[in-house]
Amino acid sequence: MLMSPALNVFLCGVGGQGVMTAAELIAQAAVAHGFDCKKSEIAGISQRGGVVTSHVRFGPKVLSAVITPGSADLLLAFELAEALRAANYLKRGGIALVNVLRLPPPVVSMGLYRYPEQPLVELRAAGICVHEIDAGGIARELHDLRLVNTVMLGAAAGFLPFPAEELESLVVGRFAVRKPALVAANRRAFAAGRMAAGRMRAEG
């Protein structure tokens, strides 16, 4: 990806999915690699499954943390409908990594928002390059649904301008001291996410 003037990563999902943690880890990896980085986030009643978004911008010099619509290089969506809602942030030629999980937020049950029937179809109809990741299915195969966050980070690693190993090191480093038993599981989840994204790229 181009690094001029900055690379913009827009993350979205619902509360409890680890969206803000993922954004923080990407930002830390960018800083560790020598980039200037800014991060911003919005969590609307996230503790009740509300919408969560994070903006991460990094490059040689970054002045603002806010990604303007139409300028995101990468959309990392942890939930299907939220991917569609955030699609306007992608620039032409941007890439969407989308977890195929359907997790309707409270605004749907309240009747304030209609959950789209075919979010992926609508995204592709808009000309967006979509890579679908069954992060939940991969996490189930690894016997721990909490690994969805790490699977998505593994999928994103191949689209970021620094070695995947740097991001992986930060992911597993969160558990190395207090929860060492989770290190191996997170390594497997990260690798599985990378493999899933790699297959999607190879299939075009």
Judge whether 119 and 84 are in contact, CB under 8 Å.
Answer: yes
Tokens of 175: 């558990």
Q: Where are the domains of the chain?
A: 7-203
Span 148-194, pLDDT tens digits: 999 999 999 999 999 999 999 999 998 877 788 889 999 999 999 99
Give 92-116 pLDDT, tens digit per residue: 999 999 999 898 766 677 787 788 9
> Hey, what CATH topology would domain 7-203 get?
Pyruvate-ferredoxin Oxidoreductase; domain 3 (3.40.920)
> In sequence order, which ranges of 47-131 are alpha helices (DSSP H)?
80-85, 106-109, 119-125
Q: In the structure, what pLDDT confidence band is assigned to residue 46 with cuts at 50, 70 and 90? A: very low
The SS3 of residue 164 is: helix
**pLDDT tens, position by position, 124-138:** 999 999 999 999 999
Question: d(Cα 119, Cα 81) in Å, to the nearest integer?
Answer: 6
**Residue 75: band (very low, low, confident or very high) from pLDDT cuts 50, 70, 90:** very high
